[in-house]
């Protein structure tokens, strides 16, 4: 692989790591917010939902701006905005202002998927895209793992919101590095919103995005409640909970890279082989949710959550790789925006529902609820694999033999 490939992958992945450090500070800080503002588990879920709502509302407009001005400018400004939003969260004195700051932070994260996916599919040749996507998606889990250690570790060593200040500093520095190091892009087209009318006629795409509602619900709820569950149910410290969340992200990173590589090298029709990988990850997530519901020790929780992370955090790259087998290259921008909106929409309702079940019934019921959620997703994905797409020139096709 040439230097141009690795330059693009490394810059985009570094951007994603720093952006995720800022964004996922909220998930790691749920115990701190609960203690500071006296929140119920349901109110903690609303913090995660507000973050996700900001992301969902601005995802499509920011995707259109990315098409118009190019990923170099939008990703740079997006990361500056994320650093600013992180500072606002660090200084929020009340629960209401915390929700407002969290909304701002979530909205600027809407630059991530359109910009980084555009970079991968525009600048990397077929046959390398799925592996590059897996590496790039490690930036999400890697950044989240780093933020977990920052927020929980510095809260005990310095003061409760020290980790937010460090995260903001990282975001600002990387924004400058990315802008200087990333090659200029054309970005000369006319801004336009995705044509969802055309995509809605593509049946397997619609089914895949429906499955995305359930996949996103499980993913975001897991990261939002891991630290809180380990502290309250297992009886461990917040710092240990941060370590467990970091393990979830680490194993999720392994899952993303491994499945991205397998998506490129396994034999068979791309839609079928990649779709089957996503089904396996969904069913593996369901099994591990049941295991997590039964954990009672710190060691058991660390092992169970690590394996859960491999499956439930490991499938986003494959999700987009499946999508690329269902739509043409010129539809990929709109398809990506719609697919991410589906993932995000699932996270709008699941965290409060999880918290409500934990408050009224117990955490075991909450984890079993998520097991059911990903099982439904697996059933929908079977339909994706069995249904022929309506196009003949998908964005992700096998590389012709030389």
The pTM of the full predicted model, rounded to 2 decimals, is 0.75
The percentage of residues in the chain with a pLDDT greater than 70, rounded to a whole number, is 92
Fold of the domain built from segment(s) 3-183+195-386: Growth Hormone; Chain: A; (1.20.1250)
- Joined tokens for residue 97: 């202002």
For 84-101, what is each residue's pLDDT tens digit? 999 999 999 999 999 999
C-alpha span between 296 and 303 (Å, rounded): 12
For 92-151, what is each residue's pLDDT tens digit? 999 999 999 999 999 999 888 878 877 877 777 767 777 887 788 788 878 877 888 888
If you write DSSP's letter for every residue of 323-386 in order, what string do you get? HHTTSBGGGHHHHHHHHHHHHHHHHHHHHHHHHHHHHHT-HHHHHHHHHHHHHHHHHHHHHHHH
| pLDDT at position 402 over 50 | no
CA gyration radius, the chain: 20
The residue among 298, 248, 227 whose CA lies nearest residue 28 is: 227
Task: Give the three-state DSSP class for 236.
Answer: coil
| pLDDT at position 275 over 70 | yes
């Amino acid at each position: 692989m040439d230097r141009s490939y690795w330059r693009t992958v490394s810059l985009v992945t570094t951007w994603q790591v720093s952006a995720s450090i800022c964004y996922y500070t909220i998930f790691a800080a749920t115990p701190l917010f609960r203690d500071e503002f006296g929140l119920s588990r349901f109110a903690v879920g609303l913090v995660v939902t507000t973050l996700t709502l900001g992301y969902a509302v601005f995802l499509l407009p920011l995707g259109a701006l990315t098409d118009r001005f190019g990923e170099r400018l939008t990703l740079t400004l997006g990361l500056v905005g994320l650093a600013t939003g992180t500072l606002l969260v660090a200084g929020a004195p009340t629960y209401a202002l915390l929700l407002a700051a969290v909304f701002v932070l979530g909205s600027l994260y809407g630059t991530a998927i359109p910009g980084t996916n555009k970079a991968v599919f525009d600048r990397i040749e077929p046959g390398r895209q799925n592996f590059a996507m897996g590496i790039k998606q490690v930036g999400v889990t890697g950044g989240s793992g780093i933020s977990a250690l920052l927020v929980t570790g510095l809260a005990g060593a310095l003061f409760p919101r020290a980790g937010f200040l460090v995260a903001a500093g990282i975001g600002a520095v990387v924004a400058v590095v990315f802008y200087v190091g990333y090659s200029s892009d054309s970005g000369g087209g006319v801004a336009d919103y995705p044509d969802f009318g055309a995509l809605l006629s593509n049946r397997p795409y619609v089914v895949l995005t429906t499955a995305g509602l359930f996949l996103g619900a499980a993913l975001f709820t897991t990261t939002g409640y891991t630290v809180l569950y380990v502290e309250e149910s297992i009886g461990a410290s917040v710092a240990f909970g941060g370590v467990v969340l970091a393990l979830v992200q680490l194993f999720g990173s392994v899952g993303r890279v491994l499945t991205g590589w397998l998506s490129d090298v396994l034999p068979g029709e791309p839609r079928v082989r990649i779709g089957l990988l996503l089904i396996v990850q969904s069913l593996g997530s369901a099994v591990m949710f049941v295991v997590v519901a039964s954990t009672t020790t710190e060691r058991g929780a660390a092992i169970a959550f690590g394996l859960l992370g491999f499956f439930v955090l490991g499938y986003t790259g494959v999700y987009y790789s499946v999508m690329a087998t269902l739509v043409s290259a010129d539809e990929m921008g709109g398809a990506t925006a719609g697919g991410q909106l589906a993932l995000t929409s699932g996270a709008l309702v699941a965290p409060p529902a999880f918290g409500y079940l934990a408050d009224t019934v117990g955490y075991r019921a909450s984890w079993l609820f998520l097991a059911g959620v990903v099982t439904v997703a697996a059933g929908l994905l079977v339909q994706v694999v069995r249904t022929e797409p309506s196009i003949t020139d998908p964005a992700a096709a096998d590389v012709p033999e030389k």
